[in-house]
Amino acid sequence: MALPKVTPGTYNYGEYANPTPIKYNTGGKAALGAGIASAITSIAGAAIEKKQEEKRKKQAADKIFTDTFNRFDKETRNQFAGQVMDQTDLVSQAYLDFKNGIIDAKQLAVIESSTNDNIANLTALKNIEEGIDLDNIDFGSIKMNEQNIENFYLQKSLENNTAKYIYDKKNNEWTIEYNSVNIKDVNVDEIISENGIPEKYFRKKTIPLNELISNSKNFFKLDTKIQLADEPVQNLFTALANNFNKSQGRIYMTNVSENGYELLDEGKAIEGFRNSSDVDVVYTKFGKDIAEDILDLEYNPEDPEQVDQIKTFIAQQAVAKADKTGNKVPKPREQKMVDPIEERTGMDLQDRAIAFDQITALKPGEQIEIKYKGSNDFKKENYIIARSSEGDLVFTKDEEGATPSVISQQDLIKEFGVGSLINLQRAQQAGIKF
């Protein structure tokens, strides 16, 4: 709504502005008597003229006031009757001061401009008030930070018409006063609802009207907590699930259904996907909100356990929406039989036979080193095998503090699984053919 500008007018003060000069008779006694009579008449006339002058000034002032008041449109006068009257007083007095030489044109223009700004700001605030709707805003759903709480109570005061418009005539400035909460002092556990905050936390808050309007985006927004059921949040995790299907889904299709189709191993998928760049992007943008609003954590990006917890949650939501079934699993090929002794020792039959021959050929004081997977080893380890002066075979793991152990030749045959080969050799030596 355009606001009318108040501009100086031109007013006719009539005879007061151009008084008729008084004429005097200067001839003899007659002239003296006439002069005295004329003086008496002048005194009486001056008193009348003074009253008439005051009347003309009042009429002029009233006209200026009326003209100034009428320069504000009807809607503004109806919406802000008290405020318009205050501004009219100020501007009309400024016009009179300007005509009487008390202020100059520049000072008058400053008063007019600030007055127009004040009314424009009041109108803008009124338009904003009409758009405030807190009926669908649950107090518990807004973020508990200082600016957000201030905004909530400001809007609530304006919506309920409990906010006060305070006019500083000296500075020609309007301020808005409302009841708010100092959130820094509030024990969050005491906040059950907007009406559940103890009275001790409330105090009067005042904001200049021009600051409120010039920074309206800061004062009239409310940041609400994100919730898992919110459509934008669900859309985010759906998009993330689609990326998972394209980039990593096949990797974790490691289970098989009864009818032979691949099934997603969700546990392994979550563990792998949480370290992906896709999850990193979501964490960077929404990690703080997820921590505070959904996981009810005090966000600390320097805590690696918390970061991992948040990323795991993000991965869980994505995998929950990901494809669970893959392709038909082909029939497995026949598995080659594995020699259990080879699996246990880490050496095939040929290597074991060679090692056995070398070991049994040792003389007292001699030793050899073999790479061997013992009963308690997870992989091949170095072992020292020696023939003692008494003729015993001694096994020792090649590491500091290892305990040596004696093994008989018969146990060595079992350990290396070469009994069948020895029997075959003995039969061949005896001339038995197979």
Q: pTM of the entire structure?
A: 0.49
State how far the Cα of 413 lies from the Cα of 417, in Å rounded to an integer.
Answer: 6
Q: At residue 327, does pLDDT exceed 70?
A: yes
In angstroms, the Cα distances linking 283 to 12, 109, 141, 278, 301 are 75, 55, 21, 9, 10
Report, as an integer, the average pLDDT of 227-252.
88
Output the six-digit token pair for 226.
Answer: 């994100």
Q: Is the dihedral of CA 131, 134, 140, 141 positive or negative?
A: negative
Q: How confident is the model at residue 188 (pLDDT cuts 50, 70, 90)?
A: low
Report, as an integer, the average pLDDT of 290-307.
90
pLDDT recorded at residue 3: 37
Q: How confident is the model at residue 31 (pLDDT cuts 50, 70, 90)?
A: low
Q: Mean pLDDT of all residues in the chain?
A: 79
State how far the Cα of 316 lies from the Cα of 218, in Å rounded to an integer.
Answer: 35
Q: Which of 185-194, 261-270, 408-417 has the least mean pLDDT? A: 185-194
Q: How confident is the model at residue 359 (pLDDT cuts 50, 70, 90)?
A: confident
Q: At residue 10, does pLDDT exceed 50?
A: no
Q: Please state the domain extents for the chain.
A: 14-128, 132-219, 231-328, 340-429
Report, as an integer, the average pLDDT of 98-113.
86
**Strands 393-397 and 173-181: what pairing?**
unpaired
DSSP 8-state symbol, 22:
P
**Strands 325-328 and 261-263: what pairing?**
antiparallel
Output the six-digit token pair for 115.
Answer: 């007055």
Report, as an integer, the average pLDDT of 178-188.
75
pLDDT recorded at residue 20: 42
Q: Which of 74-78, 301-305, 394-398, 407-411 has the least mean pLDDT? A: 74-78
Q: At residue 98, does pLDDT exceed 80?
A: yes
Residue position matching structure tokens 């008439």: 52
Report, as an integer, the average pLDDT of 110-117.
84
**56-94: pLDDT as tens digits:** 767 777 777 787 777 777 877 787 788 788 888 888 888
- Helix axis angle for 277-289 and 231-247, nearest 10°, is 160
pLDDT recorded at residue 93: 85
Query: 244 and 252 in contact (C-beta within 8 Å)?
Result: no
pLDDT recorded at residue 145: 76
State how far the Cα of 388 lies from the Cα of 395, in Å rounded to an integer.
Answer: 11
